[in-house]
Structure 1
Amino acid sequence: MRTATVERPVLVDPTADQLLSLVDAKSGPVRRPVVDMGDFATLVRTFVGVALGQPTRERLGGDLFDVVITAANDQARAAVFAMDEVQGGCGGVVEDPMAGWFYWLVPPGSAGRWQPPPYAVCLGVPYRITLPPLNRTAPPGPYWYRPLARDRLVPAGPLWTVLAQHRPEPPHTHLATQLGLAPGRLGPHG
């Protein structure tokens, strides 16, 4: 003889409160509520922006990337070609023609270990960057000088060495002004 078990009824068109009550009931006493749904909302907005080919605003650090900023001049272009060789195809680099900068996407946490040479700045938390749509590979506006690949960032150590060899012009003073930082905050020339 089988015994029947009583389960909560499945609701047709449940309200948000009813849905949350069901989730809480299924989670049991050790459930861990999400502390910050803002991160999830940001992730969804970013995904939708990327899917629609729109620029996306990203928080530096965390699990994504930090950014190294250099001038976008002949020396920096030579550094990109050198990183193509070092890396077998350089990781993501954005050129902002209006500002005259390259934004090199490097692994998260690089800003904390970056030794500031006079020709590059590395930023991480708490800064943000607006990235162009993934399909924008030419001006007007910021564009992907080297496309972003899911599995490839620019390695910070080799980049530091390549930049030391090619020495693009320093962005320090202008960048410090733009970010509202005190002189010297971005390194010896900031």
Structure 2
Amino acid sequence: MMQTLVDAAGAPGRPAPDMADLAELLRTLLGVAAREDTRVRLGGNLFDVVVTSSGVQARAAAALMDKVQGGCGPVVGDTRDGLFYWLVPPGTTGRWEPHTHAVCLGAPFKIVLPSLNRTAPPGTPGLYWFRPSASDRLVPAAPLRRALTQCRPEPTPHAAFADRLGLTP
């Protein structure tokens, strides 16, 4: 039976162009699940990020998003730089209007995701899940924008975010 399936498939063909992306995605997700910090390319089919400070006002925005979503979607905290990375749907960057308290980034940038078990700030400066990733849910961009406009997280990330985020083109 197996030989019949092999014969029916025909000659080997060229791999689909998106298979390299799929392989990279699987390696990334396996790394995060295996308790490793993992660098992920933004955009594509995964997510973009909205970057804010992680101070009191940003925590108030997360509390608002908890109410909106019944538990806020995934947010990575960075104790080294005092930032939050809100994981928003892919393509948000193309629709995100400039905001005084947030920056939205997508492709070609990359971000490091902490391992899934790191849900509290580490003892040394680094990354952790402020709001852990739950299945395929992301933070919806429009309600997040309203929450950030209302809460106005300071300091704003605009001036030095490229140098401090660990995001690279």
In structure 2, what is the equivalent of residue 91 of structure 1? 73
**Shift in Å at residue 115 of structure 1?**
0.9
Deviation at 1:133, TM superposition (A): 0.5
2:160 aligned partner: 174
Shift of 1:37: 4.9
Q: Is the 8 A contact 2:32 2:114 kept in 1?
A: no
Structure 1 residues without counterparts, runs of 5 or longer: 1-6, 11-21, 180-190
1:186 is aligned to none
Q: What do the CA deviations read for 1:87-121 (whole angstroms, capped 9, x no partner)? A: 11100001101111000000000010001111000
Identity of paired residues, percent?
59
Q: Distance in 2 between matches of 1:171 and 1:177?
A: 11
Q: Aligned pair in 2 of structure 1 residues 93, 8: CA closer, same or farther (>3 Å)? A: closer
Q: Which amino acid aligns with 2:93?
A: A
Q: How does 1:75-154 map to 2 (within 5 A)?
A: 75-140=57-122, 141-154=126-139
TM-score (norm 1): 0.75
Q: Does 1:56 align with 2:42?
A: no
Cα 1:28–1:151 change in 2 (3 A) is same
Q: Given the superposition, is the C-alpha separation of residues 98 and 178 from structure 1 closer, same or farther in structure 2, using an over 3 Å criterion? A: closer
Q: For residues 8 and 61 of structure 1, do their structure 2 counterparts lie closer, same or farther at Cα, with a shift above 3 Å needed?
A: closer
Aligned residues: CA RMSD = 2.5
Moved more, 35-44 or 94-103: 35-44
2:44 touches 2:90 (CA, 8 Å); kept in 1? yes
Cα distance in 2 between the residues matched to 1:44 and 1:92: 19
Determine helix, strand or coil for the equivalent of 1:49.
helix
Aligned counterparts of 1:84 and 1:40: Cα–Cα separation in 2: 31
In structure 2, runs of 5+ residues without a counterpart are none
Match of 1:155 in 2: 140
Q: How many residues align?
A: 161
Distance 1:161 1:9, change over 3 A: closer
Query: What TM-score do the two structures reach when normalised by structure 2?
Result: 0.84
Distance 1:37 1:135, change over 3 A: same
Query: How far is the alpha carbon of 1:50 from its aligned partner?
Result: 2.4
Higher relative CO (Cα under 8 Å, sequence separation at least 6) belongs to 2
Classify 1:41/1:8 alpha carbon distance in 2 versus 1 (closer, same or farther; 3 Å): closer
- Judge conservation of contact 2:73–2:131 (CA < 8 Å) in 1: yes
What secondary structure, in the 3-state scheme, does the structure 2 residue paired with 1:173 have?
A: coil
- Aligned counterpart, 2:9: 27
Paired residue secondary structure (1:64): coil
